[in-house]
Amino acid sequence: MACPFEMSVAKPRALITGLKGFTGHYLARELTLAGYQVYGTVQGEQALDEGVYSLDLNDRLGVKALVDEVRPDVVAHLAAISFVAHGDAEAIYRVNVLGTRNLLESLDTLKHRPRAVLLASSANIYGNTNTEVISEAEPALPANDYGVSKLAMEHMARLWMDKLPIVITRPFNYTGVGQPENFLLAKIVRHFQQHSAHIELGNLDVARDFSDVRTVAKAYARLLQLSPAGHTFNICSGKAYTLREIITMVENLAGYQINVRVNPAFVRANEVYKLMGDAGKLLQFIGELPEIPLIDTLAWMLASDDSRGNV
């Protein structure tokens, strides 16, 4: 008979949809450090690592087969069309709403129910508001298809609130090493890394609340651990910066000034002019998070060779 101390204890299983995406990479690292065996989904990749599955969330039967195989203890649903200016509205709704529905429907059939299901929504659901600091109680007034799709996802998810331990997050903007260059701060930093003389941007006076992706990943990991089911949380820093201010920060870090050209094609209709969040509810539930000032995040990005934080 084997000694009890020689018996291996199975690690809890975490499923991350959008594993190879910007946020998924950092959350996988947090959950691995916390002792989870991490599984994940990607879309369209051929050469897959162990525990990584190629999956279209709109493939209802494929989603169920994956969930049945992994039998996750916790789920972080990050896969989505997350670029606000994405041109295909039908794809936005199909992936962000129906894809999420397929996942929840499949999780609901498991005998071994997950103890936490985190759904990443977005602060874009708040749209344009006159409120200086936005709490979770702020009425939703989305101003673009992306925001509408995320609000629809939240409402749809409530059909499963009495069956699954669902936690909804509304992240405000965040950035860091590895973010695609179609996101503004990544684009700005890349121009400075290339010592570009000029950059074309849209409205320089929009103000956004930016967090560091590493802080966001820690917040998600704690929410998965604590599983405050039925609650919705802002993920934010509580500070807002205009693009003008951010350009100045990066200029000071890089040691030169860049010529900024406002391209009317980059000025969005229905622009959300200011988004700044209140993280009070989040911190009340999960405790304090390490605060990384935006200037430090930008310095990290500027110094990086895009090796996902290993600089």
pLDDT tens-place string over residues 240-287: 999 999 999 999 999 999 999 888 877 766 666 778 999 999 999 999
Would you say residue 245 lies in a domain? no
Residue 108 pairs with which residues in a beta bridge? none
Q: What is the structure's pLDDT at 280?
A: 97
Q: Report which of residues 2 and 297 the model is more confident about.
A: 297
Would you say residue 186 lies in a domain? no
Instruction: State mean pLDDT over 297-301.
Output: 98
Would you say residue 6 lies in a domain? no
Domain range for residue 44? 11-179+210-238+276-290
Would you say residue 258 lies in a domain? no
Strands in 274-275's sheet, in edge-to-edge order, are 240-242, 207-209, 274-275
Longest dimension (CA), the chain: 75
User: In this structure, what CATH number is given to the domain that contains residue 18?
Assistant: 3.40.50.720
Would you say residue 302 lies in a domain? no
Location of structure tokens 């260059």: 181
Residue 40 pairs with which residues in a beta bridge? 16, 52
Would you say residue 88 lies in a domain? yes
Phi, psi of 241 (to 5 degrees): -130, 140
Two tokens at 47? 């050469």
Whether residue 288 contacts residue 193, with contact meaning beta carbons closer than 8 Å, is answered with no
pLDDT tens-place string over residues 169-198: 999 999 999 999 888 999 999 999 999 999
pLDDT tens-place string over residues 195-244: 999 998 888 888 889 999 999 999 999 999 999 999 999 999 999 999 99
pTM of the model: 0.91
Number of domains in the chain: 1
Would you say residue 82 lies in a domain? yes
Instruction: State mean pLDDT over 71-87.
Output: 82
Would you say residue 225 lies in a domain? yes
Per-residue confidence band for 309, with pLDDT thresholds at 50, 70 and 90? very low
